[in-house]
Amino acid sequence: MSETLLDLSGIRTGYGRIEALHGLDVTIDKGETVALVGANGAGKSTLLRVISGLQPLSGGSVTFDGDNLARCKAADRVHRGIVQVPEGRQVFAGLSVEDNLTLGAFSRRRDKTVPDDLDAMYQRFPILKEKRRLHAGNLSGGQQQMLAMARALMAKPKLLLLDEPSMGLAPLIIDEIFGIITELKQEGITIFVVEQNASEALAIADRGYVLETGDIVATGSGEMLLNDDSVKAAYLGG
């Protein structure tokens, strides 16, 4: 019954002569929430950049919704529904919150429903409505993370890529962010979330992968990985 949305096969890439990913296989089904956990420098961001078309492949293939994306440029992938919330938020600091959100919908800027979607986004994130005229750079870290997520949602993603959404945030804010991710999951958006901070990500995920220096070393249901002794030892603080 389950239908594959994203199929990564034999992914190889690197920086200069140094290979960062050594031939990974990952699949994500429609409607699934999948977590990728691994230590700093394991290659998590590199993998997400591969999926978004920002990091060129030296081997392997990315198949989305049945199509090979080899010739699909980064901007076109957003148009197709692959949307990333990058590590460290990367909001457009010198633009207003509202400009950040409307730019989120850049790939469908001729769509007449964008203003309605903006209203809906303000209902979901009231704090962004309150701050809509401020420069995004003036928001707190947690607010910037919400803005980055809202900006991505404005593109109407079919596959939402989240790169360390909890990075550098206070525990209460982290709970709030994962609450939002759970809501998005319930709404049926397919989610691929990458975390160094593994426990929260695995707790909300249907399935997980563990990445170690460019290789997948374990995979299974989120629950199974949470209870796996070696995963516990390496990523969950024992």
Partner 1 sequence: MFSEFFQFSFSGITLGAIYALVALGFTLIYNASHVINFAQGEFLMIGGMGTVVLMDAGAPIYLAIPGAIVMAGIAGVLLHKLAIAPAKNADVVTLIIITIGASIFLRGLAQIFWGKDYHALPAFSDTESLSVGGAVLLTQSLWILGIATLLVVALGLFFTRTALGKALLATSMNKDAASMVGIKTGAILTLAFGIAALLGAVAGVIVAPITFTAYDIGIMLGLKGFIAAAIGGLGSSTGAILGGLLLGLAEAYTAGYISSDYKDAVPFVLILVILFFLPNGLLGSRAVERV
Ligand X SMILES: Nc1ncnc2c1ncn2[C@@H]1O[C@H](COP(=O)(O)OP(=O)(O)O)[C@@H](O)[C@H]1O
- List residues binding partner 1 (CB under 8 A): 52-54, 73-76, 78-79, 83-84, 86, 90-95, 99, 102-104, 106-107, 109, 135, 137, 151-152, 155
Enumerate residues 116-155 that contact ligand X by CB under 6 A: none
Give me the residue label for tokens 């409607």.
31
**Does position 17 bind ligand X by CB under 6 A?**
no
Cβ atoms of 11 and 47 within 8 Å: the answer is: yes
- Give min distance, CB of 84 to partner 1, in A: 5
**Does position 86 bind ligand X by CB under 6 A?**
no
- At 132, is the secondary structure helix, strand, or coil? coil
Cβ atoms of 95 and 167 within 8 Å: the answer is: no
Is the dihedral angle over the CA atoms 52, 58, 64, 69 positive or is it negative? positive
Cβ atoms of 6 and 23 within 8 Å: the answer is: no
Residue 91 binding partner per list partner 1, ligand X, Mg ion, none, with a CB distance cut-off of 5 to 8 Å that depends on partner kind: partner 1
Residue 90 binding partner per list Mg ion, ligand X, partner 1, none, with a CB distance cut-off of 5 to 8 Å that depends on partner kind: partner 1
Going by the DSSP 8-state scheme, the letter that residue 81 receives in this structure is T
Residue 169 binding partner per list ligand X, partner 1, Mg ion, none, with a CB distance cut-off of 5 to 8 Å that depends on partner kind: none
- Give min distance, CB of 42 to ligand X, in A: 4
Query: Alpha-carbon Rg of the chain, whole angstroms?
Result: 17
- From residue 30 to residue 69, the character string flagging contacts with ligand X as x (rule: CB under 6 A) and all else as - is --------x-xxxxxxx-----------------------
Going by the DSSP 8-state scheme, the letter that residue 82 receives in this structure is E
- Give min distance, CB of 149 to ligand X, in A: 18
Sheet arrangement for strand 207-212: 82-85, 159-163, 190-195, 33-37, 207-212, 215-221
Enumerate residues 33-92 that contact Mg ion by CB under 5 A: 44-45, 87
